[in-house]
Amino acid sequence: MKKLFKGLGKSLGLGFVALALVVSMGASSAEAVVTLSGSALTGTTTVALEAAAASAMTIGSAQTTGTIAIGGTAGTGAGTITVGSSSASQTLNLGTGAGLATVNIATGLVGSVVNIATGVNSVAQTVSIANGASAADTTVNIMSGVGTAGAGVLAIGNNTRVTTIGLGNIAPTAARTITIGGGTSAVVDTIAIGTGAATAAGGKTINIGTTAPTGSGTNLIAIGSNGDFASTTTIYGGNTTGAISLTPAVAGIIVIGSTTGTGAITLGASSGASQVVNIGTGSGATQTVNIMTGVGANTLNLGTGGTGVQTIHIGDNATPANVITIGGAASGVTVGGTLTVTGNLATTAYALKSVANTLTAVGSTQADALALTKDYNNVTVGATTTGVKLPVAVAGMDITVRNTVGNTIHIYAAAAETLNGAAGPTGLNLDASTGTRCVAMSTSVWLCNTIGAIEV
C-alpha cells in the first residue's frame, strides 16, 4: 500500500485509481486550507469536496487566464450538475465580481430548456433581471436576434394567477419610447389587445392615455395612419347607450375630418330597417349646430335618397314658438315639389311667382295645345284656332292667362278636369285683350274668372 501511494504521488501529485470508492477531501477545521494544483481529481462514482460548516470553499481563486470547467463535454442526461441545492436560505452568485463579466447560459447550438424559478413555490418569490440602480446604460434583450428558421413564442404573464403586468410603468427621468409591434413589416402583423371573450361586466377595460395631465402636460394619442389610401381604422362598440363615446373636456372640440380632406364623411350608413342619427339633441340651454358654414361653394342635401318616402322635419315642435330662417337677403330658395304651410305665410317683401312672357298659342285641340308651366302667362301670338293648356290640377293652384293677341284663343284643362263646368277637352274661349284667373278647387275642378279689357 505504501508503494501504491508513492507511485500515485509521482504521477499525479494526488489522485485516485479506478476503484469503486468514495473519496472525500477537506478538513474538519474551519481554518484549514486544501490546495490541489496541476492535478486531475477523478473518480468512477462520487467525488465530494467537503468543507466545515462555517468555512469557505474557493475554486480557482488565484487563476487569471485559464478555464474552470464543471462537467465534461461528453456528459449525458443521466448526470446532473447541481450548484446550490440547500434547503435553507442561500445566495448563489454568478459573475458578480467588479470586472466585466459575460455569463452564458444554454448558448449551445442544440435546443435547450432553461428553467428559472419554475418550482412550485410555497412562499413569495422574486425574479429580478437587470433590476439594479443602474448608473450607466442598460440593455436587456429577450428573443431579439434575427432568426433564420423556425418560429419563436414570447410569453409574458401567461399565468392564471398573474394580476399585474407592468411595461414601462414608472415616471421616467428622460423621454422614452415604448414600441409594440414596430418595424417595417412585409408580412401581416396582428397585434391583439384585450381580445379575450369577457364573461363579466367590464371584463375587458382598456385605458389608453386616460390619466388627466397636470401642469402644462398634454396627451397626444394617434390611432391609425392616413399615409396610405388602403389603411382602415375601425372602432367597434356594443349595443347600449354610449356604445361609442367621444367625450372631450367641457370646452373641448371634436373634429371629424381633415381641413384638407376630400373624402366622404358618413354618419349613419345603416342598411337596416330603422336608425336614428341625432345631432345637437342635448338639453343644453343654447346649442348651436352649424352645417356648411364655411366660405366655400357648398351643397347641402337633405332627404335626397332615391328610394323610400323621406319625411323631413325642421323646427317641428308644438312649443315653444320656433324661429326658422332659410336663406339670406341675397339667397334664392327653390322648392321643387309641393310646399304645404299649415300656419300663416307672412312675407316682409314681395312673394314672387313664376312668369312666362311672349308665349305662342299652338294646336287646335287639348292634345296639341301649348302646355302652361308658370303662374302668370302672357300669350302674344296665336291664331283663332290655337290654344293653351292648364297644368294638371292641384287643389289651390292659381294660374293667370293674359291674351294680347288680336283674336280669340282657347284654354283647355290638362286632362279630364272641368273648367267652369265645361269638360277639359272642350275648354273655354279667351277673347282678345282679356285675361282669366283660374284656381284649382280640387284635382278635378277649375274655376276661372275673366279679367276685364287689357290695354295693349
Q: How far is CA 124 from CA 92, 119, 120, 167, 282, in A?
A: 18, 12, 11, 21, 54
- Cα–Cα distance for residue pair 412/401, rounded to 1 Å: 12
Closest CA to 401 of 446, 337, 336, 368: 446
108: which 3 cell numbers?
Answer: 449551445
Residue 361 has a pLDDT of 97
- Cα–Cα distance for residue pair 290/304, rounded to 1 Å: 20
- What pLDDT tens digit does each residue of the chain (456 aa) get? 444 444 444 444 444 333 334 445 544 454 555 555 555 566 555 666 666 666 677 777 777 777 887 777 776 666 678 887 777 777 888 877 777 878 888 787 777 788 888 878 888 888 888 887 778 888 888 888 788 888 888 888 888 888 888 888 888 888 888 888 888 878 888 888 888 888 998 888 888 888 888 888 888 888 877 776 677 888 888 888 878 888 888 888 888 888 888 888 888 777 777 778 888 777 877 778 888 887 878 888 877 777 777 788 787 777 777 788 877 777 777 877 777 777 777 788 888 889 999 999 999 999 999 999 999 999 999 999 999 999 999 999 999 999 999 899 999 999 999 999 999 899 999 999 999 999 999 999 999 999 876 654
Burial class (CB in 10 A: 0-12, 13-18, 19+), 26: middle
Residue 453 has a pLDDT of 67
Residue with cell 432553461: 114
pTM for this predicted structure: 0.59
| Beta-carbon contacts of residue 105 (< 8 Å; ≥ 6 apart) | 114
Residue 358 has a pLDDT of 94
Main-chain phi, psi angles of 406, to 5 degrees: -80, 15
Q: What is the CA radius of gyration of the chain?
A: 49
Instruction: Indicate the class that CATH gives domain 355-451.
Output: mainly beta
Residue 434 · residue 450 · CB < 8 Å: yes
- Cα–Cα distance for residue pair 275/267, rounded to 1 Å: 11
Indicate the Cα dihedral angle 149, 153, 154, 157, nearest 10°.
-170
The SS3 of residue 331 is coil
The SS3 of residue 3 is helix
b/e per residue 127-156 (b: at least 16 CB within 10 A):
eeeeeeeeeeeeeeeeeeeeeeeeeeeeee
Kind and range of the H or E run holding 410: strand 409-412
Closest CA to 379 of 413, 406, 353, 397: 406
How do the domains of the chain map onto residue ranges?
Answer: 2-49, 355-451
Residue 80 has a pLDDT of 79
